[in-house]
Structure 1
């Protein structure tokens, strides 16, 4: 497992410094996806795999000053960039593994996860852990500012049916890990899967 995590840390550490400048126009898509989570003032939300914290300001706006916003990431360099960008004022930043979060069971209303799924060494463990920390009826947003086909093209890959984010694969994966898929959007300009915590 350590090797898997080291690979993820190496990948993002090498890209942290210019991450935001590589994707400067994603802000509105992040804000819209956060809006779809249905957060309420005073709520508690985790940005799992928060990276440079681009979702944190929108999450703070959604839960208001009385709410709790936590941004967790495995890569210190990404969290350092979040601080440098001033996003640490929108939420608490936590160096943590999404597969082993130092949070109480059922303590959150929602989880926002941008691009996280494809970087989890063990997606079933990661989604189960996210379910553990969310109350029954709470929500999960799996988000990416471009759809699966556009992302595959960006990386020079062919989109295949075994892609983890394909609806036919994602639906049972979520069901097996404590979630029920509610809506699924996969367009050129947006990937957003919204799920509800079961049980």
Structure 2
């Protein structure tokens, strides 16, 4: 579902309090995806649409104490849950729309986005904004702890041909937004797309 920001806030705001309890076993999948992002100590990384901050500890471990970790989310209730879980110790939390980030161009080495693409109101614009804040050669990870088929089944739906997360749809979307897809994995136990920021 490509949602306007108000609907996204309403959807996640009403579910924030029990969010982590619904998915208690996702931690290792997040950590494995962060590892594949290839972050180096001292790097600067954004968790775009960070929610309750489940990726923040793994991102902090990857960049070390000298690195920069930012978690940006549109929903105050989700950020509140991240604080309650103590994940604000792993990074700076920012209430912000991923489509309009309060970051300078080229400030980051990488972006991690869990479950992000289907909640962008304007996916091309959102991906262009992520490209704007990442240096050329920087990386993007689009992740979900389960694949498209398993996720659709969880929601009682079928995958449709217009699913943005399908490789044939996502590759040109990324290319037109300043990214080059370098790998695509869509398995029952994870969905992970890695892309590299193109030179402009």
Shared fold (TM-score greater than 0.5)? Answer: yes
**Cα distance in 2 between the residues matched to 1:44 and 1:161:** 35
State the shift of 1:4 in Å.
1.3
CA-atom RMSD in angstroms: 0.7
Q: Which runs of 5+ in 1 are unaligned?
A: none
State the shift of 1:162 in Å.
1.0
Deviations 1:116-148 (A, max 9, x none): 100000000100000000000000000000000
**Cα distance in 2 between the residues matched to 1:164 and 1:75:** 23
**Cα distance in 2 between the residues matched to 1:10 and 1:160:** 25
Size of the aligned set, in residue pairs, is: 197
Q: Normalising by structure 1, report the TM-score.
A: 0.98
Deviations 1:131-169 (A, max 9, x none): 000000000000000000000001111111210000000
Q: Which runs of 5+ in 2 are unaligned?
A: none
Moved runs in structure 1, 4+ residues, more than 3 A? none
Alignment correspondent of 2:142: 142
Pairing of 1:178-197 with structure 2 (within 5 A): 178-197=178-197
Alignment correspondent of 2:8: 8
**Cα distance in 2 between the residues matched to 1:109 and 1:166:** 25
Pairing of 1:85-164 with structure 2 (within 5 A): 85-164=85-164
Deviations 1:40-64 (A, max 9, x none): 0000000000000000000000000
SS in 2 for 1:65: coil
Pairing of 1:51-66 with structure 2 (within 5 A): 51-66=51-66
1:32 aligns with 2:32: yes
